[in-house]
Amino acid sequence: MKFGGTSVGTARAMQQAISIVAREEERGTPLVVLSACSGITNKLVQIADAAGRSALDEAMTLAGEVRSFHLNLLDELIKEGELKAELATTIEGLANRLEMLIKGVDIVGELTERSKDMFCSFGELLSTTVFAAAMKELGHNVAWVDVRSIMITDDNFGFARPLDEICEVNVRKMITPLLAAGTSVVTQGYIGATKDGRTTTLGRGGSDFSAALLGAWLDDNSIQIWTDVDGVMTCDPRLVPEARSIRVMTFSEAAELAYLGAKVLHPDTIAPAVQKNIPVYVLNSLHPDAKGTIITNDPERLSGMSYEGLVKSIAVKKSQCIINVRSNRMMGRHGFMNELFDLFARYGISVEMISTSEVSVSLTVDDKSFNNELIQDLKTLGEVEIEHNVATISVVGDNLRMSRGVAGRIFSALKGVNLRMISQGASEINVGFVVEEHEVATAVNNLHKEFFSAPQDHTIFETPAGKQ
Ligand code: ADP
Ligand code: ASP
Ligand code: MG
């Protein structure tokens, strides 16, 4: 069971999450994976940046806020006594280490990826510490486990990947026996450690991925992602207020959607579940009785809810940048694409969407990875044009593969929107295009109306519980 930042972001949210865990404990002993409390990882990133620029006062003030936030949670959740005193010492200890780290980075005068991961790890260490104590306070049989002794990763700080075989053995050695003895386990998402004990992170939003990995190593019978919306929806409800909850999706639909920008799931969450064929449930900790979404390839579950429609969901990725390379050298020659992509590979920049013609290639990259040196190198291949502040929008659905007329419906829904790029592969389950960022809201609301406003298939789509 993974609970995201909002689901553990206040004392009340933690109590609610614990009551959800308690329900599960009646059926079996769960492994609980937590994110940092909402906003804390962002604050830790700010602290790291401030320390790296030797803005010591700023960093220490923010660290003070992190300390008092967690001490306040403690006050609200745990009554005076031995447990509270013990826990306060643990929180103070972690906060002191955070401050020592700030001073260390300030003295060295440089923030490395390695120390940044160290900073970011405090959020999950603190949230799990408070949560496990609150469970104990309520009489649960629970163990707090430092996931850094289990989630052993490579040393790609900021985007570490687990060393599967070692981790699986660790899970069997350290978690399985606790669960078998009826002790619920609370541990951290998002963080891990290298073989020699250096703290790493799996990338922002990585707690979903941690939960899926741990669920797969445990050979568990379900992976539950508890978040702040009623499952995976037809679009981000922050963009489209009419978005509906999707009852069932295939693994490929969910993975595609996550890769194409739906923040509700970290893009790597699905792969471990597919490998062991474990259903992933996406559920709302604010409305625990809402049905949420089941992600599965189980034909029985899918057949009860077969979906004849085309589009299951719409995903948006903002802060993208179009790079257009135009060269006559492409005409009838070979090797040009190779040279082009070789440059992106050399700079370690991931290309998101591509569209080509005989004389030009357009592609998108995340604006954060934009690199001027790469652009200089690209200019040796041809004329280069750049467009910032664009967003990719993708419509996703397994049924798109065999259907006619989808493109026509998309384009008529987008009349009046300036389409900067379009991309669809031959066997793809998505159609993607790029618009200027200020047109995203119009574009997605129009598309949503086009594909989801007709009489709905209620076995698949549901009005979110908060709106009923
Ligand atoms: P958590 O902290 O629980 O991991 P996130 O903020 O990472 O939560 O992800 C949940 C958010 O994802 C939702 O609040 C919603 O705004 C956003 N989101 C984007 N696309 C979708 C979608 N298709 N379905 C549901 N939520 C989405
Ligand atoms: N706390 C981390 C983040 O904010 C990981 C997560 O929430 O999944 O990115
Ligand atoms: Mg998330």
pLDDT in tens, 309-339: 778 899 999 999 999 999 887 777 788 889 9
Nearest ligand 2 atom to alpha carbon 206: 8
Q: Is the CB of 41 under 6 A from ligand 2?
A: yes
pLDDT at 456 over 80: no
Ligand at minimal distance from the CA of 258 is: 1
pTM over 0.75: yes
Separation of alpha carbons 124 and 103, rounded Å: 21
30 Rama sector, left if φ>0, alpha if ψ -120 to 50, beta otherwise: beta
Give ligand 1 pocket residues (Cβ under 6 A): 4-7, 35, 205, 227-229, 232-233, 235-238, 262-264, 313
2-220 fold? Carbamate kinase (3.40.1160)
Q: Give the pLDDT band of residue 306 (cuts 50, 70, 90).
A: low
Q: Would you say domain 313-462 falls under CATH 3.40.190.10?
A: no
Q: Closest by alpha carbon to 353, among 415, 267, 260? A: 260
Whole-number pLDDT of residue 89: 97
Do residues 88 and 71 make contact, with C-beta atoms less than 8 angstroms apart? yes
pLDDT at 308 over 80: no
Q: What is the pLDDT of residues 154-191, one digit of tens each?
A: 999 999 999 999 999 999 999 999 999 999 999 999 99
Helix (H, G, I), strand (E, B) or coil at 173: helix
Task: Output the CA 256–ligand 2 centroid distance in Å.
Answer: 20
297: which 2 tokens?
């390839």
Task: Output the CA 403–ligand 1 centroid distance in Å.
Answer: 29
Task: Output the CA 91–ligand 2 centroid distance in Å.
Answer: 19
Q: Give the pLDDT band of residue 455 (cuts 50, 70, 90).
A: low
Q: Is the CB of 206 under 6 A from ligand 2?
A: yes
46: which 2 tokens?
């700010």
Do residues 160 and 153 make contact, with C-beta atoms less than 8 angstroms apart? yes
What integer best gives the mean pLDDT of the chain? 94
Q: What is the pLDDT of residues 383-408, one digit of tens each?
A: 999 999 999 999 998 888 777 788 88
pLDDT at 303 over 80: no
For the segment 63-89, the average pLDDT, to the nearest whole number, is 97
Q: What is the pLDDT of residues 134-157, one digit of tens each?
A: 999 999 999 999 999 999 999 999
Mutate to test the pocket of ligand 2, among 8, 131, 190, 263 (most ligand atoms within 8 A of CB): 190
Q: Closest by alpha carbon to 20, among 226, 279, 247? A: 226
Mutate to test the pocket of ligand 2, among 33, 34, 204 (most ligand atoms within 8 A of CB): 204
Whole-number pLDDT of residue 427: 67
The full set of domain ranges for the chain reads: 2-220, 313-462
Q: Give the pLDDT band of residue 437 (cuts 50, 70, 90).
A: very high
For the segment 94-120, the average pLDDT, to the nearest whole number, is 97
Separation of alpha carbons 451 and 456, rounded Å: 10
In terms of residues, how long is the chain?
Answer: 468
Q: Is the CB of 210 under 6 A from ligand 2?
A: no
pLDDT at 468 over 70: no
Task: Output the CA 226–ligand 3 centroid distance in Å.
Answer: 10
Separation of alpha carbons 163 and 172, rounded Å: 15
N- to C-terminal Cα distance for the chain? 26
pLDDT at 305 over 80: no
Q: Which residues, other chains included, contact 38 with Cβ-Cβ below 8 Å and sequence gap of 6+?
A: 4, 5, 6, 8, 9
